[in-house]
Structure 1
Amino acid sequence: MDMATIAMCPAKAPMTTTPSPKLDDGICLSATWNRTGVIVAGLKGYGSALDRLKSPTGIFLDNNDVLYIADSVNHRVVKWMPGASSGQVVAGGNENGKNANQFNYLSSIVVDKNGTMFICDRENDRVQQWFANDSQGQTIIQNFSCWGVAMDKDESLYVSHFREHYVLKWPTNQVVAGGNGEGKNLDQLGYPSQIFVDQDHSVFVADSQNDRIIKWSIGAKEGIVVAGGNGIGDDANQFSRPAAVIVDDMGTVYVADNWNNRIVRWPKGATSGTVIVGGKNASDEMTKLSTPEHLTFDRHGNLYVADTGYHRILNDNSTCTFNSGSSSLQPSILTQAQSLRNQARQYQLEAKAASELSQVEYRFGCKSQAKVFIH
């Protein structure tokens, strides 16, 4: 096993700003998002036509940037191709009802690698499995007030039981968060909505009634509050009925803060967050949000928001910069260094070039230092 070395380029003019090294999810520590969003689905607003949506509550983005939308009040799943002006109904769309080809206010969706959809059919108290190109689904979990559904890297499902205040892993039927009734204790949840599962199988819950995001590690008997938990409100350390959560490779938490009409970024270990989209300072219809219910990122770190009250899906592009201070950085070194980023998941990397050396050292964001080795 040898330490990875990268040959230095001939001397060039110093650069103080260059693209920042990114982790696998495309998000860097210095990321910012365009506060003026672009409508990528629901271009015509409220309605039932294929270029319109009614209160979209859940979104899933595949590796080809194809959107699957839980179009709640239209009782359907809409598939929306990149750049398209209208979508295609791929599940439901047959009015609300309890039949196998119907939904009743669906709330969340995930799609596996084969294109099979798993859908929270909220008011029918069931989770539906719907194979690609089928005309109807089949019930895999019933008598279950499902609000959020997520999938881990092994394609096991996780579903939140909104009225019974716990999260279930399927098909093992194991309670992985909550399960001790409604409450504010760390072993309890209060009307959990959307959920997220990271690479370590930790479950992050938008614990809506408790206005917090709580993390349950695998096998844990209680959770850890990682954001919010300071009562309902619009201060930087508060949420007002958080609806959804997603976590990046650095452990930064992103929250659809529903009643505050904003998306909040909360770094790991921080005591407060910052508004990255929406909020009370938003000034026009393209910067404002209305009761956002869900969010996700593409592989480049661009943000997608289910802007439920405005009946649309917004895209807010990400920008990363790396301010090197007094250091001089060669772009080619950073380009080569990015090929090693898979070995440093969950940490922010800094590339530091030295003119006399033929290697790149990596300093991890947790303040420990390490050489990067490859087999």
Structure 2
Amino acid sequence: MSSFLYTPNSYYPIDDSPNNNPNSINNNKPTRNLFRWILLTLAVGILCIFVLTIIITIIIIIFKKKSTHHNYQNSSLNKTEMFLNISKRIKNNTSFTCQLPANPNYKENCTIVAGVLSTSDDELNRLQGPTSVYLDKERNIYVADTTNHRIRKYIPGNSDEGETLIDEKSNIYYPRCLFIDQESNYLFFLDQDIQANYRVQVIQLNSNPLKRTILIVGNQTRSYGMSLDENFNIYVSEYNHHRIVKWLSPNYEQYLIIVGNDKNQLTYPRSIYIDQITNDLYVADKNQIQRWLNNSNESKIVMQGGLLCPRGIEYDCHGNLYISQDKTIKLINNKTNLAGIDIIGIQFYFHWVLNSRKTDELSNPEGIYLDKTNGDLYVVDPSFNLVEKFTTKD
């Protein structure tokens, strides 16, 4: 009785189960060991996967660096090959027949070939400050969507279903001044880098994926004009330097100042145009157009007047000069005076409702492109963010 009172746990009944019996076998130990082994295996597996992921990531990064370097080397080598192929084609192509009307007369109404009205909800196809347009031999339409930092391609008849060829993700900024070699499908364009140096880049349009090469990294100045001659020398207007420079092909590592030295002064030149037949140079300077004959230091004013500096320049096989200026497209030839005559557009005045704009109204048109086969004139209207086509009357 007394021993019962001095036993601390005597209040509770004695449990003789195996778990409380030190002499019995512990059946839970194998289960606990198995659980610990599973946890250890999972931890080791996760650690191995983590290490393997790091190794694979490092290998991919190294491979990408090598691939990028390899592609860059190929682009540099192909630059010379590109020039040789194009120059051979130009020298062998001596036949030419003028198919354009000598006195073009355009219809008042136009057709929208690229872009949508600003009231549209189509964000993808809404252009922003376009400046240049060019066509390839299949009449696909290429647009420098400048403020959106991209180049768009439109199939004829699908003005609201464009395709983005290249954009800001590919390191292009404010593209403008498109130029396409029709036989080789090389697209040249002017843009700038983040240090505000102008650049000339080229894209091989028939490559998949698109191959691109930076041909020129120029001086730190704005540029609004670029053109090529028959030997694929590249002419660039250096806006803040008041001059035109000629980058020499095929390497484009050296340039000549051909206009804007002590004898030939310019004031903020913008657009330029090279006649592909004569290699004469046309320069939009202030409110006039000057022409420099090939291999000559003498210039001649061929167009003068207007409120704004001329923007777009085109030239046909009859000697007609097409200029986008103010609110119209002007034509200058030996039958007109220096002011030229308006052949497209009327003075536009902003309406309360933008859609009430007439189809022949223009607002500070920029780049223009003349289809040398039928006389169609493509006009970039940055105020309405559209590209329009004007056709000749029958």
TM over 0.5, shorter chain: yes
Q: Which residue of 2 aligns with 1:261?
A: 327
CA distance in 2 between counterparts of 1:175 and 1:37 reads 41
Residue 131 (structure 2) pairs with residue 51 (structure 1): no
Cα shift readout 1:185-228 (whole Å, capped 9, x = no counterpart): x8222222222111111111122x2x111111111113111111
CA distance in 2 between counterparts of 1:48 and 1:243 reads 28
Relative to structure 1, the CA distance from residue 114 to residue 307 in structure 2 (aligned partners, 3 Å threshold; closer, same or farther) is same
Residue 203 (structure 2) pairs with residue 143 (structure 1): no
Q: Secondary structure at the match of 1:33?
A: coil
Q: TM-score, normalised by structure 2?
A: 0.64
2:117–2:384 CA contact under 8 A, matched in 1: no
Q: Secondary structure at the match of 1:215?
A: strand
Q: Secondary structure at the match of 1:249?
A: coil
Q: 1:166 is matched with which residue: 243, 267, 287? A: 243
Q: Give the CA deviation at 1:135.
A: 5.5
Residue 280 (structure 2) pairs with residue 206 (structure 1): no
CA distance in 1 between counterparts of 2:243 and 2:121 reads 34
Relative to structure 1, the CA distance from residue 304 to residue 131 in structure 2 (aligned partners, 3 Å threshold; closer, same or farther) is same
Moved over 6 A (4+): none
2:246–2:255 CA contact under 8 A, matched in 1: yes
**Equivalences for residues 1-375 of structure 1 within 5 A:** 24=97, 26-45=99-118, 49-84=123-158, 85-94=160-169, 101-112=170-181, 113-122=183-192, 123-132=196-205, 133-134=208-209, 137-144=212-219, 145-172=222-249, 173-175=254-256, 177-180=258-261, 187-198=264-275, 199-207=277-285, 209=286, 211-228=287-304, 230=305, 232-233=306-307, 240-257=308-325, 260-268=326-334, 270-271=336-337, 272-280=339-347, 284-298=357-371, 299-319=373-393
Gap runs ≥5 in structure 1: 1-22, 95-100, 234-239, 321-375
Work out which structure has the larger RCO, using CA pairs closer than 8 Å and 6 or more positions apart in sequence.
1
Percent identity over the alignment is 26
CA distance in 2 between counterparts of 1:48 and 1:141 reads 35
Relative to structure 1, the CA distance from residue 293 to residue 34 in structure 2 (aligned partners, 3 Å threshold; closer, same or farther) is same
1:215–1:226 CA contact under 8 A, matched in 2: yes
Which AA in structure 2 matches 1:34?
K
CA distance in 1 between counterparts of 2:117 and 2:273 reads 30
Gap runs ≥5 in structure 2: 1-95, 350-355
CA distance in 1 between counterparts of 2:111 and 2:232 reads 31
CA distance in 1 between counterparts of 2:152 and 2:314 reads 22
Q: Secondary structure at the match of 1:34?
A: coil
2:245–2:259 CA contact under 8 A, matched in 1: no
Task: Name which one, 1 or 2, has greater alpha-carbon Rg.
Answer: 2
CA distance in 2 between counterparts of 1:66 and 1:59 reads 10
Q: Give the CA deviation at 1:134.
A: 4.7
Q: Give the CA deviation at 1:152.
A: 2.7
CA distance in 2 between counterparts of 1:227 and 1:160 reads 18
Q: Secondary structure at the match of 1:104?
A: coil
Which AA in structure 2 matches 1:129?
V
1:196–1:245 CA contact under 8 A, matched in 2: yes
Q: Secondary structure at the match of 2:383?
A: helix
1:164–1:191 CA contact under 8 A, matched in 2: yes
Which AA in structure 2 matches 1:141?
I
Which AA in structure 2 matches 1:262?
T
CA distance in 2 between counterparts of 1:261 and 1:157 reads 29
Q: Note the aligned Cα RMSD (angstroms).
A: 2.6
2:130–2:386 CA contact under 8 A, matched in 1: yes
1:48–1:54 CA contact under 8 A, matched in 2: no
CA distance in 2 between counterparts of 1:24 and 1:39 reads 29
More helix by share: 2
Relative to structure 1, the CA distance from residue 59 to residue 169 in structure 2 (aligned partners, 3 Å threshold; closer, same or farther) is same
CA distance in 1 between counterparts of 2:128 and 2:317 reads 32
More strand by share: 1
